[in-house]
Amino acid sequence: MKSQISALMDGELDAHELHEPLAALRDDEGARESWRTYHLISDALQGRALLSADCLHRVVARLAQEPILVAPHPSAVRPPERAPWFVPSALAAGVAAVALVGWLAFAPQQGAGPGPTPLAQAPAAPTIEAAKAPASVPLTTASRDYLLAHQAFSSRNSLLGLAPYVRSVSDDAAARKP
């Protein structure tokens, strides 16, 4: 069934083959879970924002709690603004508070922080946010010593053998002559 769902997602099924997977998606939670997982993987591979994991249930549950506004009144019925500090704690109430606050504190850093930077890239100009987003610096020859020392403990060796070690000796010349 999973292969059929995958094929359905990829648009590879003919009209007469649709009935079975669609029925499974209607009746079988396992099939729906596969459908969501495949979309998650597809999103990850194609660079779309990862929102497909288990968000569906949460969004549906939250929507169910929302009051239904038949006719929206722009400003008159808007609830009073909450103080900003209240927002995270209120949201955290229903879920694991510690993990949540930790994650929220972490999120802006990730957004502001530089992605993987190419070796030869010049160090980033200092900015006001320097405390949150550390400077991008080139790898030095000494950094290779860290990479080599780290590599021995990488579990990826279990899949790739010696190949990942290439990082610790890679581009030596480029590291010295940026």
Partner 1 sequence: MTRAIGAVLLCVAAGLAQAQAAPEALDWLRKIHQATEKLSYTGIFVYQQAGRTETSRISRLADADGGVEKLEVLDGPPREILRTRDEIRCYLPERQIVKVDRRRNQRDFPALLPEQVNALAEHYSITKHDVQRIAGYDCQVLVLAPRDNLRYGYQLWADLRTGMLLKARAFDANGQTVEQFTFTQLEIGSVPRERLRPLRAARNWRVEQAGVAPADLARSGWKVSPHLPGFRKIVEIRRMLSDTQPVGQVVYSDGLAAVSVFIEPIAGRTETARLGLASMGAVNVYTREVADHLVTVVGETPAASVQRIGDTVEYHRPQ
- Residues within window 1-60 making contact with partner 1, judged by CB under 8 A: 2, 33, 37-38, 40-41, 43-48, 50-51, 53-55, 58-59
Task: Pick between residue 16 and residue 161 the one whose CB is nearest to partner 1.
Answer: 161
**Distance of closest approach, residue 170 Cβ to partner 1, in angstroms:** 6
**Distance of closest approach, residue 110 Cβ to partner 1, in angstroms:** 4
CA-atom Rg of the chain in angstroms: 25
Residue 158 tokens read as 């279990």
Residue 177 tokens read as 């002559």
Which residue bears the tokens 């009935």?
A: 19
Q: Which of residues 91-150 bind partner 1 (CB under 8 A)?
A: 91-92, 95-96, 99-100, 102-104, 106-107, 109-110, 113-119, 123, 134-143, 145-150
Q: Determine the Cα–Cα distance for residues 141 and 88; give it in Å rounded to an integer.
A: 44
Q: In whole angstroms, how far apart are CA 7 and each of 23, 33, 79, 116?
A: 15, 15, 47, 34
**Distance of closest approach, residue 112 Cβ to partner 1, in angstroms:** 10
Task: Pick between residue 17 and residue 106 the one whose CB is nearest to partner 1.
Answer: 106
Task: Pick between residue 70 and residue 93 the one whose CB is nearest to partner 1.
Answer: 93
Task: Pick between residue 19 and residue 86 the one whose CB is nearest to partner 1.
Answer: 86
- Report the phi/psi class of residue 171: left, alpha or beta, with left for phi > 0 and alpha for psi in -120 to 50: left
**Distance of closest approach, residue 108 Cβ to partner 1, in angstroms:** 10
Q: Determine the Cα–Cα distance for residues 32 and 30; give it in Å rounded to an integer.
A: 5
